[in-house]
Amino acid sequence: MTAPFIGINRHRLATDGKGVTTLVAFSGCPLRCKYCLNDQCHDPERAVATLSPQQLLDQVMVDNLYFLATGGGICFGGGEPLLHSEFIHQFCTMKVAEWRISLETSLNVPRHHLERVAGDIDHYYIDIKDLDPVIYHDYTGCDNAQMLANLQWLLRLDGMAQRITVRLPHIPNHNTPNDIARSKAKLAEMGITHIDEFNYIIR
């Protein structure tokens, strides 16, 4: 088994949770966001490496002491990492037990991907864009019903609300402060307590 990657970014601090982390970014994404920061993930020919779980482990093992000393580990991102759920699961069966595993995801994937890694992930960073279906579709080109259903499924797992951070962006020309407020209110009703509200910058 192998997977394509657009980058491996070491020595990240205060970005992906506790401690020193390495961001492992997969190629491939179901969304076509207007202001995508990693647009190369949509072009398979722009992947910089194709690795097996063992090869990835060999690369990231160089920072094992940093991970152990700080409580850090690996953050899978992309692109959409859940498209490579079997790879992630296999990697997690091989990794050092103490490493924390986090996931940066849109959650807009078929449920079986999420179910496959649910026991492997310590923390989820979920970029929901906006809960309004029209705004979401206008910005991503996709429907948000699958994302919402997956988020609700996750929240039914014991203790999961404390292991989720929802990223709620202010998207220029797409959502307004009132839209953001409505999304925050709906998230609170669902039991989400950790919300990262921030501004997209058009590059």
| Residue 150, H or E segment | helix 145-155
Distance in angstroms (rounded) separating the CA atoms of residues 69 and 127: 29
Percent of the chain with pLDDT over 70: 100
pLDDT at 203 over 80: no
pLDDT tens digits, 96-110: 999 999 999 999 999
Contact between residue 9 and residue 15 where contact means Cβ atoms under 8 Å apart: no
What pLDDT shows up at residue 162?
A: 94
pLDDT at 6 over 80: yes
pLDDT at 202 over 80: no
pLDDT tens digits, 54-95: 999 999 999 999 999 999 999 999 999 999 999 999 999 999
Give the mean model confidence (pLDDT) for residues 19-29. Answer: 97
CB atoms within 10 A of CB 29: 21
Distance in angstroms (rounded) separating the CA atoms of residues 166 and 131: 11
- pLDDT band of residue 14 (cuts 50, 70, 90) is confident
Contact between residue 174 and residue 135 where contact means Cβ atoms under 8 Å apart: yes
What pLDDT shows up at residue 46?
A: 93
Cα separations in angstroms, 47 against 25, 28, 185? 10, 9, 39
CB atoms within 10 A of CB 69: 10
Domains identified in the chain and CATH numbers: 3-199 (3.20.20.70)
Question: Residue with structure tokens 């039991």?
Answer: 191
Contact between residue 164 and residue 141 where contact means Cβ atoms under 8 Å apart: no
pLDDT tens digits, 109-160: 999 999 999 999 999 999 999 999 999 999 999 999 999 999 999 999 999 9
| Residue 133, H or E segment | helix 133-140
